[in-house]
């Protein structure tokens, strides 16, 4: 196989992340923050509104695998619960508020963000040999800063984020979008992921060869889905690539 590019999933593949979106502290902090913007909601009500609007977004979507929009959720909360005090805020502050709230939401819900062992060294070996792309089911407001925080942002071009598209893996279009951005064909590219359905099945729909990283996250088995190669420690990726190059 003549390999020119490698597409990586992020969370659970390169990044060992743990978040808890129902943790009460998130909504206490956000409710307090919103009170300074003239919006008075209890933490419990704010939590209910957040997940209610997320459900509304997904129900309104025509996509088979719809993605929500966290910034839009907070835009809707502000619109529905704004007071005269809120409407009197400086326009610039009002415009930036939904994104800021989404960032605070993620910051408080996040308990762990680190690379898996060997990721940094392995990617350093691959950089320059192959085009490296990232494809993640996530929000742009979170994925890009988190990539920067773990020191990987400059390694990937493109970075394709499901939140920008409105649909998520395993929709084949998100894989095709990444291939189009790479200007490569499926038989020139490997896909590395940790979820048997979203990553392996999704990539195989387009004919991509898949490397499954059996990490501490993601769906480990799926009936009828078999990856082309399995690794158990991230540095084993180098051996996997050699297998495809010479196989």
User: Considering the entire predicted model, what is its pTM?
Assistant: 0.94
- pLDDT in tens for each of the 247 residues of the chain? 999 999 999 999 999 999 999 999 999 999 999 999 999 999 999 999 999 999 999 999 999 999 999 999 999 999 999 999 999 999 999 999 999 999 999 999 999 999 999 999 999 999 999 999 999 999 999 999 999 999 999 999 999 999 999 999 999 999 999 999 999 999 999 999 999 999 999 999 999 999 999 999 999 889 999 999 999 999 999 999 999 998 7
pLDDT at 11 (0 to 100): 98
Distance in angstroms (rounded) separating the CA atoms of residues 156 and 148 = 11
DSSP 196: I
DSSP string, 21-76: TT-HHHHHHHHHHHHTTT----HHHHHHHHHHHHHHHHHH---SSB---HHHHHHH
**3-class secondary structure for 81-116?**
HCCHHHHCCCHHHHHHHHHHHHHHHHHHHEEEEEEC
CATH superfamily for 5-18+114-246 is: HAD superfamily/HAD-like (3.40.50.1000)
Burial readout 23-50 (b: 16 or more C-beta within 10 A, e: otherwise) = eeebbbbbbeebeebbbebebeebbebb
Over the Cα atoms of the chain, what is R_g? 20
């Amino acid at each position: 196989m003549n390999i020119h590019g490698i597409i990586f999933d992020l969370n659970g593949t390169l990044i060992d992340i743990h978040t808890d979106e129902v943790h009460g502290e998130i909504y206490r902090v956000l409710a307090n923050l919103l009170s300074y913007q003239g919006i008075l909601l209890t933490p419990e009500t704010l939590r209910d509104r957040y997940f209610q609007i997320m459900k509304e977004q997904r129900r309104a979507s025509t996509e088979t695998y719809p993605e929500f929009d966290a910034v839009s959720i907070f835009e809707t909360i502000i619109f529905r619960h704004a007071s005269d005090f809120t409407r009197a805020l400086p326009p610039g502050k009002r415009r930036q508020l939904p994104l800021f709230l989404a960032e605070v939401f993620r910051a408080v819900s996040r308990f762990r963000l680190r690379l898996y062992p060997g990721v940094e060294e392995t990617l350093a070996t691959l950089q320059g040999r192959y085009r490296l792309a990232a494809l993640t089911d996530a929000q742009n407001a979170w994925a890009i800063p988190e990539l920067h925080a773990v020191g990987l942002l400059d390694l990937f071009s493109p970075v394709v984020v499901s939140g920008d598209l409105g649909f998520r893996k395993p929709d084949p279009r998100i894989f095709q979008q990444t291939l189009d951005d790479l200007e490569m064909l499926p038989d020139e590219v490997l896909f590395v992921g940790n979820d048997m359905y979203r990553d392996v099945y999704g990539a195989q729909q387009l004919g991509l060869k898949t490397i499954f990283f059996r990490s501490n996250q993601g769906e480990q088995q799926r009936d009828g889905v078999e990856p082309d190669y399995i690794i158990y420690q991230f540095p084993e990726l180098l051996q996997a690539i050699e297998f495809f190059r010479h196989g």
